């Protein structure tokens, strides 16, 4: 099956709902954020930290619009349950390769939900004495926030819906779609029910 056929097939499937943010709108917003970051970080040594895996697609587009010398690094955090960090149980599964001491750190994330993943990460990074830490997220779902976070750069805000595409996954799939889609609620509900019943066994 060609890539084109694969994309067509899943777009008309039972899984994907409507497009929330089309690719061209994401590109426009990303450029706007990149320009803003360029102005804000003039004369500073910037290190852009990407949270694996969801933020990879956003990161690669964003850095092309940051007109400054910068370096990139990657960090991965595991959460327990599926995409659910409500328990606050998170651990670093891949740490940064470079030191951030005295540097200006910009964390790039795909979506901030409860905020528990990022607040854990920021607490950990602060211990390494960076000059500053700021957050740039593709999506902010503030309605579910538990941890208090200050988000300096944000492309889009959403309400309750679960979303996929442009780096965001559902069971590790759909990251390669150029637009951001809602996931059909029935799909998520079914999965949550089966997860709950398996936990109760």
Look at residues 73, 58, 57, 75 and name the one whose alpha carbon lies nearest to residue 155: 58
Q: Is 97 a catalytic residue?
A: no
Q: Does 135 help bind ligand IMP (rule: CB under 6 A)?
A: no
Q: Which of 58, 153, 162, 166 binds ligand IMP (CB under 6 A)?
A: 162
Q: What is the smallest separation between the CB atom of 9 and Mg ion, expressed in angstroms?
A: 26
* CA 11 distance to own-chain centroid: 22
List the x/- string, 54-83, binding to ligand IMP by CB under 6 A: x----------------------------x
Q: Which of 48, 110, 121, 180 binds ligand IMP (CB under 6 A)?
A: 110
Distances (CA, A) of 110 to 104, 123, 125, 133, 152: 20, 19, 19, 17, 14
Q: Does 165 help bind ligand IMP (rule: CB under 6 A)?
A: no
> Do the Cβ atoms of 93 and 74 come closer than 8 Å?
no
> Do the Cβ atoms of 136 and 106 come closer than 8 Å?
yes
Q: Does 136 help bind ligand IMP (rule: CB under 6 A)?
A: no
Residue 137 site contact among ligand IMP, Mg ion, none (CB < 5 to 8 Å, cut-off depends on kind): none
């Amino acid at each position: 099956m060609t890539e084109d056929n694969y994309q067509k097939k899943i777009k008309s499937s039972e899984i994907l709902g409507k497009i929330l943010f089309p690719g061209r709108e994401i590109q426009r917003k990303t450029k706007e954020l990149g320009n803003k970051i360029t102005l804000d970080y003039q004369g500073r040594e910037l290190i852009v930290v990407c949270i694996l895996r969801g933020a990879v697609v956003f990161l690669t587009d964003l850095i092309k619009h940051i007109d400054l010398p910068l370096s990139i690094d990657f960090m991965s955090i595991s959460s327990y349950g599926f995409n659910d960090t409500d328990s606050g149980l998170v651990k670093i599964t891949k740490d940064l390769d470079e030191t951030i001491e005295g540097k200006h750190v910009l964390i790039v994330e795909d979506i901030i939900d409860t905020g528990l993943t990022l607040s854990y990460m920021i607490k950990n990074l602060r211990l390494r004495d960076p000059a500053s830490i700021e957050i740039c997220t593709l999506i902010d779902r503030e309605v579910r926030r538990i941890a208090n976070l200050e988000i300096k750069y944000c492309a889009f805000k959403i309400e309750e819906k679960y979303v996929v595409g442009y780096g965001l996954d559902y069971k590790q799939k759909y990251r390669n779609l150029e637009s951001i889609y809602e996931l059909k609620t029935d799909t998520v509900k079914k999965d949550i029910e089966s997860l709950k019943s398996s936990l109760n066994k």
